[in-house]
Structure 1
Amino acid sequence: MSAHPYVSASDRYDTMTYQRSGRSGLLLPAISLGLWHNFGAADQLENARAILHRAFSLGITHFDLANNYGPPPGSAEETFAQVLSRDLRPYRDELIISTKAGYDMWAGPYGNWGSRKYLVASLDQSLRRLGTDYVDLFYHHRPDPETPLEETMGALDFIVRSGRALYVGISNYGPDQTREAARILRGLGTPCVIHQPSYSMLNRRVETGLLAALHEEGIGSVVFSPLQQGLLTDRYLRGIPADSRAASDGRFLRPEHVTDEVLQRTRQLNVLAAERGQTLAQMAIAWVLRRPEVTSALIGASRPQQVEDGVQALKNRQFGDEELARIDDILNA
């Protein structure tokens, strides 16, 4: 790492848009950076550092983590901790650091799902890895069908009251689960301020009830996979490149997702994006942000240029009725 102290861009807040998360006081950048990929121990620290620097210089203040991000699990938090310690510590009060727990993290009966034991222990581990006293936002990563929701939400309330997190939210919860979780947390005096669902042009499930629930409950959302694992970029318009992640790592985008039908749709969407003066990825990000229930779109990046490209989506977030109708026709064909 460079011996020179890091100084962020003085104009970092000039062009980013910040949006309120539901009815809370929390403002989030319209674009957030996710550390799901490319920030593990197997990845290049200097590249991760460059991505984080560029993101913050563009006004991205929200950095999204989880206990199991890596690989190996936990190492994305450790990578972020190194950059925080070396470069971003003076800016800590300008950052929204989020992490989650809900998936398998360690052996035995207490390393998964949604018990109070697991959630509190996992966050304590995350805080040690991150080298910080608190996170700004802590999520329950997925519903637990076995643990009473009152216990899980009670744990989130305890986490805020104990100073481990400033805000709490949920991820991957359905509409009815979201309403019930919000009701319980409201009764405890620790509101649910954010939901993190998957949402993209190719995955519109949240439009069938969840977005309405978020609106009614006054909960914001940070939507993940707005580019559908890269399908909504120009990288896959002609199929799966040999050097792509989809060709080598079946955990993510798989060949069966890249069908001729999907490719026909993405090529048509790409034409429309060009007419708007955008890349397909920029239009896809702008499209999810068109909904007032969407506070922020969560993007990933393997190099700083991808962050720059994603932020460019904010230059044209408006869609005319004809454009939206064309998009619906393409997606429903």
Structure 2
Amino acid sequence: MNSYTAAEDRYEKMEYRRCGKSGILLPLLSLGLWHNFGDIDDYDNARQILRTAFDNGITHFDLANNYGPPYGSAEKNFGKIFAEDFKQYRDELIISTKAGWDMWPGPYGNFGSRKYLIASLDQSLQRMGLDYVDIFYHHRPDPNTPLEETMGALDHIVRQGKALYVGISQYSADGTARAAKILRQLGTPLLIHQPRYNMFDRWVEKSLLDTLENEGIGSIAFSPLEQGILTDKYLNGIPEDSRAAREGGYLDKDIITPQVVQKVQKLNDLAQKRGQSLAQMAIAWLLKDERITSVLIGVSRESQLKDNLDVIKNRSFTEAELKQIEQILKEE
């Protein structure tokens, strides 16, 4: 693939939102590298997706230590693509990574100890060929390590210059408030929370979003399409090449019940009346709340990315449309 020069009009194609009460603006859509960037995937395809994303104003690339497969390979492949295409644009990018899930054998390769978090970030930086990441996340709460130790490690990482900002993922509202307080006292504000959020998984609405607003913390929603259920992929059952059909996949095909399919069909009909795909409507529905700073999208093809990007052109809902969505989602 030829040498890369980014599109000159890239910042005219994207909108950006302030991340909580920080100095950081994030694009409405950010690119997640959970799937499709591992050693089992097509390298040139991954490279093309990243180029198209940046050409359209997506400045935020989100990784984690265990993304692949195998673990570590998404960071390694991103590092290669970064060196080839994006090094000259480093100061225009927000690159994040995380640690919190099992990464290597033994007692020090998992959860939230200072030992694990600092070692994991050092490994991530080495794989990606970076001096620092923009955001480093604790990937999930650790029920056994004191929160003071985990947050103290995040503060230390910022003071070392290995991350500019820190975030948390999948923490409860109460855990988030406690984490924010500890970090504030240490002098390193909590920038962002990364929760799972979509039309079918709305736990954040109970109290997390209010907590984030009160604390001045931004948010970036992952799994906005419920692993592909909120697309037109499963309207007529489970295709053979889909994530749900794969053995050992992350999507349990048992959750794609006739009731779920019926809801998806009705949502799809509404999306078509709005002149957009179901995926676009599902993303727009998340962005209607200003407390959602950005939505994290994962794509396997450039065409999917372009489809998602079109959401920028059609993000407003009428009261009647929002009411209809609620009615569909409440159906038994």
Instruction: Please show how residues 260-271 of structure 1 align to structure 2 within 5 Å.
Output: 260-271=258-269
Which residue in 2 is equivalent to 1:31? Answer: 29
**Aligned pairs for 1:285-300 within 5 A:** 285-300=283-298
- 1:227 matched to 2:225? The reply is yes
Matched, 1:69 2:63: no
3-state DSSP of counterpart to 1:329:
helix
Q: Does 1:112 align with 2:135?
A: no
Distance 2:255 2:61 in 1: 28
For 2:180 and 2:210, locate their aligned partners in 1 and report how far apart those are by CA, in whole Å: 14
- For the residue of structure 1 that corresponds to 2:6, the secondary structure is coil
Partners of 2:255 and 2:31 lie apart in 1 by 24
Q: CA deviation at 1:321?
A: 1.2
Aligned to 1:103: 101
Residues in 1 aligned to 2:328 and 2:166: alpha-carbon distance in whole angstroms: 37
> What amino acid does structure 1 have at the position aligned with 2:36?
N
State the secondary structure of the residue aligned to 2:305. Answer: helix
Counterparts of 1:319 and 1:275 in 2: how far apart (Å)?
12
Give 2:280's match in structure 1, choosing from 274, 279, 282: 282
Moved over 4 A (4+): none
Paired position in structure 2 for 1:130:
128
SS of the aligned residue for 2:136 comes to strand
**1:267-296, Cα deviation, whole Å (9 max, x unpaired):** 000011011111000000000111111000
CA drift at 1:251: 2.9
Contact 2:38 2:73 in 1 (8 A): yes
Q: Deviations over 1:115-171 (max 9, x none)?
A: 000000000000000001000000000000000000000000001010000000000
Quick check: 1:244 aligned with 2:242? yes
Q: Distance in 2 between matches of 1:253 and 1:238?
A: 17
Quote the offset at 1:257 in angstroms: 1.1
1:159 partner amino acid? I
What's the counterpart of residue 176 of structure 2? Answer: 178
Indicate if the aligned counterparts of 2:243 and 2:249 stay in contact, CA closer than 8 A.
Answer: no
Which of 143, 146, 158 in structure 2 is aligned with 1:145? 143
Deviation at 1:6, TM superposition (A): 1.0
The residue identity in structure 2 corresponding to 1:324 is L
- Alignment-derived partner of residue 331 in structure 1: 329
The 5-angstrom pairing of residues 23-62 of structure 1 reads 23-62=21-60
Please, which runs of 5 or more residues in structure 1 have no aligned partner?
none
User: Is 1:163 aligned with 2:143?
Assistant: no
Provide the C-alpha distance between the structure 2 equivalents of 1:301 and 1:42, rounded to a whole number of angstroms: 15
Question: Once the 2 structures are TM-superposed, how far is the Cα of residue 44 of structure 1 from its aligned partner?
Answer: 1.0
Partner residue, 2:193: 195
What displacement does 1:253 show? 1.4
1:311 is aligned, of 309, 312, 329, to 309
Whichever residue aligns with residue 160 of structure 2, its letter is S
Q: Structure 1 residue 226: deviation in Å?
A: 0.4
How many positions carry a matched residue from both structures? 331
SS at match of 2:249: coil
RMSD, matched Cα: 0.7
Q: Deviation of residue 249 (structure 1)? A: 3.6
1:240 alignment partner AA: I
- CA distance in 1: counterparts of 2:213 and 2:86, whole angstroms: 34
Q: Deviations over 1:11-54 (max 9, x none)?
A: 11112001111001111000000000000011111110011011
* TM-score, structure 2 normalization: 0.99
Which of residues 210, 213, 231 in structure 2 aligns to 1:212?
210
CA-CA distance at 1:5 after TM superposition = 2.3
Give unpaired runs (5+ residues) of structure 2. none
